[in-house]
Amino acid sequence: MDAERALELVKKGGSLVFLEVPQQTLVGIDTQMFSVGPKFKGIKMIPPGPHFIYYSSSNRGGSEFSPMIGFFIFVNPSEVIIRKWDLQEERLVKVSAEEEERYSLAVQGFEFDQYLGPYTLSQFGEWQMLSNYITKSVIERIEPIGAEITVNNEPDILGSSPKTAMEEVLSEQLKNSKIPISDDKLKKRGCYYTKIPRLIKQKGIPGQDLTSLNLDKTSLLESILMKDYGGAEDMLLGELQFAFVAFLMGQSLEAFFQWKAFVHLLFGCTEAPLHTRSHLFTKFIKVLYYQLKYAFQKEHSDNSIDAKGPLTLLDDSFLAADSFLQHLCKEFFWLVLEAPFVDGDLLSWTRKLKGLLEVSLGWVFQQENTGDGVFYEEDDEFAPVVVIPDDSSYNEFPAS
């Protein structure tokens, strides 16, 4: 890059200044991760818009890492964001207003230029595909008090019984972490995610009708869209992307469960994708396609140091042929590809997602049709649920 172009990007882009961060600490922004060296004081040339910052401290040898801590930011042109390392808590904290003004002026005067690593612009397009629905309002709506997203702040999630091999591994990793969960952290709250009940229960409705509502989640989707997002489909997609990024980069179990709940909800609809919300589902499949395409990559970039960092969440159990995602995709592909009439864009992106899964993972989506739907094996946890009205264990959801 020539000097004139670099200067333009420095002036228009944002800057992150991280003061006194110990060497060998892993610091990431979006899809890029770095190991802190002796001269590192932050990142420059950051494109305006949403970004996810995440980091993990290490022991002196760089062989053990603490659980990841992450937070979202929305960068304005030429903005300078300052954080300082707290040795006692081993995390980045905000500086005083006086320090912020002093360091911002120093950055704008290029006094920090040699200590700021450039944002890898060649990877920005990849990040945009993962975050194009994340707006400033989405971040402010969901982020936790204090903005920090970390599995250390998710005691309720950790206390529950993991349901997959991946969740077992993640819980065990946290238990063996070099940083214990303090009483103060146990009191902190997680993100303010939208509540998505797995099952619908409405009083006064016959069991047969309740079963129909749970076989097709369209009414639940409509209720959530109106009640929680004011009908704004892009806000829902923004939360889906927020959860995925917090899960994959920030290693948040809470975010994984939220992302999984969204996937269950949307893939559980039969009326909406074919008739009432075809455009939403085209956007959803496109979002999911780029999320999985990124996640399937074994090596992202030259400056990626995933092999040195904490456990990658997308492990073999998530990608197994009998995973929840494989079952949900199987049903949805059958619904769309066998439909007599379907939106052209939705059909195109569904085929594209199917091809990605087949090529990347070797999944096979051949299905047996029983006449009324798809064949399920006995005791299949992914089979449709028959709702019993008197069972108080089901979550209640208001009628739409």
Q: 108 in a domain, yes or no?
A: yes
The answer to the question of residue 100 being in a domain is yes
Give, for 10, the enclosing helix (H) or strand (E): helix 3-12
- Residue 387 inside a domain? The answer is no
- 332: nearest Cα among 351, 317, 316: 351
Q: Output the six-digit token pair for 375.
A: 């064949």
Per-chain mean pLDDT for the chain: 79
253: three-class secondary structure by DSSP: helix
Number of domains in the chain: 1
Mean pLDDT, rounded, for 143-154: 88
CB-neighbour burial class of residue 125 (10 A; exposed 0-12, middle 13-18, buried 19+): exposed
Question: In this predicted model, which residue has the larger pLDDT, 71 or 324?
Answer: 71
Q: Is pLDDT above 70 for 391? A: no
Give pLDDT tens digits for 207-227.
Answer: 554 445 557 899 899 999 999
Distant-in-sequence, close-in-space partners of 19: CB < 8 Å, separation ≥ 6: 41, 82, 83, 84, 85, 95, 103
Count Cβ neighbours within 10 Å for each residue of 61-70 and write b for 16 or more, e otherwise: eeeebbbbbb
Nearest alpha carbon to residue 178 among 56, 63, 66, 21: 66
Phi–psi pair at 106, nearest 5 degrees: -65, -40
| Residues in contact with 216: Cβ distance below 8 Å, sequence separation at least 6, in sequence order | 268, 269, 270, 271
222 assigned to some structural domain: no
Determine the average pLDDT of the residues in 120-133.
Answer: 94
47 found inside a domain: yes
Asked, for residue 219, whether it belongs to a domain, the answer is no
32 within a domain of the structure (yes/no): yes
Q: Which residue, 150, 162, 160, 224, is CA-closest to 189?
A: 150
What span, in angstroms and rounded, lies between the C-alpha atoms of 264 and 268?
A: 6
Whichever domain contains 103, its CATH number is 2.60.34.20
| 139 touches 74 (CB < 8 A) | yes
Say if pTM beats, i.e. exceeds, 0.85: no
Domain region containing 79? 3-142
Q: Give a yes or no: residue 28 inside a domain.
A: yes
The per-residue pLDDT for 351 is 95
Please write the tens of the pLDDT for every residue from 315-327.
555 666 667 888 8
Angle at CA 135, nearest 5°, toward 131 and 141?
115
